[in-house]
Amino acid sequence: MYTLNNLVVFWNHYKSQKFFSSVKDHFCTGASEFTSQNYRTMDTTSKGDHEEVKDHVSNGHADAKRSAPQDSSGEEIKRQKPNVPEGMSKREWKRQMKKQKREETKDEYRQKKKEKRKQARERRKERIREEGDANSNADSDEARNHHQQKRIKYNYEEQKKTGVRILMDCGFDDLMNEREIVSLSCQIARAYSAQRHCKHHLQLDITPFNKRLKQRFDEAIPQYNKWSTVNFIEGDSLENALPMDDPESMKKITYLTADTDNEIEELEAGHTYIIGGIVDKNRHKNLCADKAKELGINTARLPIGKYIKINGRSVLATSHVFELCCQWFETNHDWAEAFNAVLPPRKLHAASQTSSAQPETSEEATDLS
């Protein structure tokens, strides 16, 4: 005999079962038929219904995902296992496949990029024209920094020779990941471009130019072979490009680094300045300073704190340091103006954005690498 209590429990259980099956009957016309579109257009009467439908949809998708694909005859298509070569990790294989795909679509990608650049140029021209019409006073030019100004290209023959040599030390291939190598190659390209837009000429040598960096250039920037103003010196170490056995000549070489207390004031003709060709988000602190010390090369940092205030630490990107050296000549030896011209405005402390050469004592610094 059932007691009244038993009957109540049984009734509740029965009710809940019935409720769930009715909800299921109502919505479950087949997971694959239930798209997010009809979910959105469905007349959901209450939040409860809404949530249930949502659950159902996501479960439906999960189910659909789980069910194996079928061919036209209804046969199950077996998913093929990736053909990972022996001894290669799946991750590495995926990376190789991506690279291969990139290679295959390279021309199309370049074409699209070219198109986009052309459109951007057009838009920029249009904007400058509009700005010129609206504000034709000379102040507007002064307010813009050189990133926004129309830049003129100069031939090597037209450029004034400074007698300064910049040597980019690219002997850090093994310390960078693939993306960082790509970033460095772009920075070198930017440095080349910056040099072409200067009235002054600084000799730019890239060494050692080998391993993944060279590979990257060969694959993605093959036109570098025609850059007559940049010397790509293959070699296998920085030392190969230096007069290591001539102490007098070695005195005329300075390794630029943020990790020193010596501050540079001027760039001298007949002098070589080395810039570390590395993108490391400053993972490797003192790397270049230690290397210079080991090779017996003097070190110096740019006088950032003296002339401008910038947000953060003062480790700059390789291309920025090169551009700064160029701009120092372009601005008639005015560091403050050079910093303001090269560093992105967001990195500059508001107070320092006027090009006053008043020395600042702030040691705040920024990591623009």
Ligand X SMILES: C[S@@+](CC[C@H](N)C(=O)[O-])C[C@H]1O[C@@H](n2cnc3c(N)ncnc32)[C@H](O)[C@@H]1O
| Active-site residue list | 280
Q: For the segment 32-71, give every residue that binds ligand X (CB under 6 A).
A: none
Q: Which candidate, 175, 171, 181, places its Cα nearest to that of 205?
A: 171
* Position 182 contacts ligand X (CB under 6 A): no
Q: Is 288 annotated as a binding residue?
A: yes
- Do β-strands 253-256 and 298-300 pair in parallel, antiparallel, or remain unpaired? parallel
Binding residue (CB under 6 A) for ligand X from 194, 241, 242, 256: 256
131-154 exposure pattern, b = at least 16 Cβ within 10 A, e = fewer: eeeeeeeeeeeeeebbeeeeeeeb
Tell me, what amino acid is at 160? K
CB 266 within 8 A of CB 333: yes
Binding residue (CB under 6 A) for ligand X from 28, 220, 221, 287: 287
Q: Which candidate, 233, 232, 241, 153, places its Cα nearest to that of 199?
A: 153
Per-residue tokens: 253: 């070489």
Binding residue (CB under 6 A) for ligand X from 276, 328, 330, 352: 276
* Position 278 contacts ligand X (CB under 6 A): yes
* Position 181 contacts ligand X (CB under 6 A): no
Smallest separation (angstroms) from ligand X to the CB of 161: 23
Smallest separation (angstroms) from ligand X to the CB of 255: 7
Smallest separation (angstroms) from ligand X to the CB of 259: 6
Q: Is 276 annotated as a binding residue?
A: yes
Report the residue number, 53 or 238, with the smaller CB distance to ligand X: 238
Whole-angstrom Cα distance, residue 69 to residue 78?
Answer: 8
54, 86, 150 from 92: Cα distances, Å = 38, 12, 44
Preceding omega of 359 cis (within 30 degrees of 0): no
Q: Which candidate, 350, 354, 351, places its Cα nearest to that of 341?
A: 354
Q: Quick one: how many helices (H) and strands (E) in the chain?
A: 13, 8
Binding residue (CB under 6 A) for ligand X from 176, 316, 336, 342: 316
Stretch that binds ligand X, among 136-144, 194-202, 228-236, 280-288 (CB under 6 A): 280-288
Q: Is 256 annotated as a binding residue?
A: yes
Smallest separation (angstroms) from ligand X to the CB of 319: 9
Smallest separation (angstroms) from ligand X to the CB of 189: 16
CB 145 within 8 A of CB 308: no
Smallest separation (angstroms) from ligand X to the CB of 267: 12
Binding residue (CB under 6 A) for ligand X from 206, 292, 321, 341: 321
Stretch that binds ligand X, among 19-27, 200-208, 315-323, 344-352 (CB under 6 A): 315-323
Binding residue (CB under 6 A) for ligand X from 49, 239, 280, 364: 280
Whole-angstrom Cα distance, residue 242 to residue 250?
Answer: 8
Q: Which candidate, 28, 27, 35, places its Cα nearest to that of 61?
A: 35
Q: Which candidate, 306, 300, 301, places its Cα nearest to that of 357?
A: 306
Q: Is 204 annotated as a binding residue?
A: no
Report the residue number, 188 or 315, with the smaller CB distance to ligand X: 315
Residues that bind ligand X (CB under 6 A): 256-258, 275-276, 278, 280, 282, 284-288, 301-302, 304, 314-318, 321, 369
Binding-site residues for S-adenosyl-L-methionine: 256, 276, 288, 302
Binding-site residues: 256, 276, 288, 302
